[in-house]
Each structure stands twice: as structure tokens, then as C-alpha cells.
Amino acid sequence: MKKTIFIPLLGICFFTLSVSAQNSAAETISSTPAFSIADSSTFTGKYKYEGLPFEYMEISVKDDKLYYSGGEYNGPLDAISDKKDAFDASGAATFTFIRDSDNKVTTLQIDYQGQTYTGSKE
């Protein structure tokens, strides 16, 4: 009788420990910010494009967030947690900042509707 109670109880304990460990790991990952507003000067500025309905995409800071503005397009940029220097533009596009060998942002790549557009920082 003791074995029939002990084995399921032991299984429940292992399951509870496993779930607890997974939740702690998920909290640690999600609490690490992918972007800090202190880094904003790295990204802000004007990026020049060719072949688009606007000549420049401007990245600025408003309300402690990055914002984009180019022609009639504008809005906030939300950091993508699993990609370095990548931001989501409200689900419409992905903005990826590309760094040179000196770790300075020199290019902004915009992925929009299956197309990729690249602009140089001025």
C-alpha cells in the first residue's frame, strides 16, 4: 500500500519541480530587455533610401520609445526580443539596424511585404 501512494506522490513532486524551473527560466529571459532607451542615440538619425515613395526614414525618440517617420509612414518601434538590433513596426514591417566593424549603426534594413529596402545613415 505504501508503494502505491509513494510512487504517484514522487511523480507529482518531480512534475512540480520541473514546471517551477521552466517558469523561472522564462521569467529570467523575458525580464532581460532587448533594447534600452539609453542606447537610443545609436539608432536615431536619418537614413537615405532610393526607390521608395519617400527619400528619408527618420528614427527618433518619443515617450522613451523609438519612432520611425518616412513620408506618410510613422509609428513606434518595439524591440524584437530574440534578435539583436531588430524592431517591429506594429506588425507591418521589421526594421533591422546593421552595424559596421566599429560597432556603429550605418544602415537600416526595412523588410516590408516580402521586399527588403536598405538605407544608409546620414
pTM of the model: 0.70
Which residue from 75, 114, 73, 80 is spatially nearest to 97, judged by alpha carbons?
A: 80
Residue 93 bridge partners (DSSP): 112
The tens place of each residue's pLDDT in the chain, 122 residues long, gives: 555 554 554 445 344 444 444 444 444 444 445 567 777 889 999 999 998 889 999 999 998 899 999 999 999 999 998 899 999 999 999 999 999 999 999 999 999 999 999 999 99
